[in-house]
């Protein structure tokens, strides 16, 4: 069973207190750059992507720039990023589609974005929410892990089921901010291997934390 509305309110308010300024940490200056950055971030950290994109965005400013070079050159420019060959191909396919179908402009709707090469549901959600102000909850590994640990979602839930559950439990006007706060919580506090349970203000409502407590894996901090 998912958490109650009362518990969810506690979770949301606590996340707001912990990370009031949570935001997208991918370096970008426009929707097109954000899309490229999110595409590059698949199975890769934002921190690593941010070491590559400054030079990349200085060299390639428009879709025409990306398709005007051999794919091998683009591969070399993003070589430090995992799956760089596949990502280079998708970037060029995406840019060619923008040129052919959208006059070089990035579409602002989720439905159109997911048609682009390398752009899945998560990427589209990130772009529409951060670049176009459309409420959305993008489920990455941090959001999925934290949502299941806190008992908001079931362990067996798919990424789409996690997204749908969060949409039901979180007021729509808070979707984007909650997305960022869940990421910050998972990235800087409730990490995959060593979650900071002893100092977590949500330990009392966290199913995973309670299990660790019973097993003796967590020692509560004295108050």
Contact, 162 vs 143, CB < 8 A?
Answer: yes
> For residue 222, is pLDDT > 50?
no
- List the structure tokens of 56: 């990349």
Whole-angstrom Cα distance, residue 184 to residue 178?
Answer: 10
- Residue 216 pLDDT class (50, 70, 90 cuts): low
Query: How much is the average pLDDT of 69-92?
Result: 96
Angle at which helices 84-102 and 31-40 cross, to 10°: 150
pLDDT at 176: 96
Q: Rounded to 5 degrees, what angle do the CA atoms 50, 45, 9 make?
A: 110
pLDDT at residue number 198: 86
Residue 85 has pLDDT above 80, yes or no: yes
Report, as an integer, the average pLDDT of 6-30. Answer: 95
Of 118, 123, 165, 159, nearest to 142 (Cα)? 159
Looking at residue 203, the DSSP 8-state letter turns out to be G
In the chain, domain spans: 5-21+137-215, 31-132
pLDDT value of position 209 = 86
Task: Give pLDDT, residue 211.
Answer: 82
**First CA to last CA across the chain, in angstroms?**
31
Q: Please state, for a pLDDT cut of 70, what percent of the chain lies above it.
A: 96
pTM for this prediction: 0.89
Query: Architecture of 5-21+137-215 per CATH?
Result: Orthogonal Bundle (1.10)
Q: How far apart are CA 48 and CA 26, in angstroms?
A: 10
Does position 218 have pLDDT exceeding 80, yes or no?
no
Q: Which CATH code for domain 31-132?
A: 1.10.340.30
- Return the active site residues: 122, 140
Q: What is the pLDDT of residue 120?
A: 92
Question: pLDDT value at position 221?
Answer: 44
CA angle 161, 111, 124 (to 5 degrees): 65
pLDDT tens figures, 133-165: 999 999 999 999 999 999 999 999 999 999 999
Cβ–Cβ < 8 Å for 54, 26 = no
Q: How far apart are CA 139 and CA 157, in angstroms?
A: 12
- Determine how many CB atoms are found less than 10 A away from the CB of residue 42: 18
């Amino acid at each position: 069973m998912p958490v109650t509305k009362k518990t969810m309110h506690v979770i949301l308010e606590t996340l707001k207190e912990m990370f009031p300024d949570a935001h997208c940490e991918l370096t970008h200056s426009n929707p097109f750059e954000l899309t490229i950055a999110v595409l590059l971030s698949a199975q890769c950290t934002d921190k690593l992507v941010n070491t590559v994109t400054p030079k990349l965005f200085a060299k390639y400013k428009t879709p025409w720039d990306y398709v005007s070079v051999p794919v091998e050159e683009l591969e070399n420019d993003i070589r430090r990023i995992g799956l760089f060959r596949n990502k280079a191909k998708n970037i060029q396919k995406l840019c060619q589609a923008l040129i052919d179908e959208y006059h070089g402009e990035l579409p602002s709707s989720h439905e159109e974005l997911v048609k682009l090469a390398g752009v899945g549901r998560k990427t589209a959600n990130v772009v529409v929410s951060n670049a176009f102000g459309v409420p959305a909850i993008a489920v990455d590994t941090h959001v999925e892990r934290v949502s299941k640990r806190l008992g908001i979602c079931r362990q067996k839930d798919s990424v789409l089921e996690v997204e749908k559950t969060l949409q039901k439990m979180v007021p729509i006007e808070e979707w984007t901010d909650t997305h960022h706060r869940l990421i910050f919580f998972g990235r800087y506090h409730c990490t995959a291997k060593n979650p900071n349970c002893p100092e977590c203000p949500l330990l009392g409502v966290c199913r995973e934390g309670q299990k660790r407590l019973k097993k003796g894996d967590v020692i509560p901090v004295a108050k």
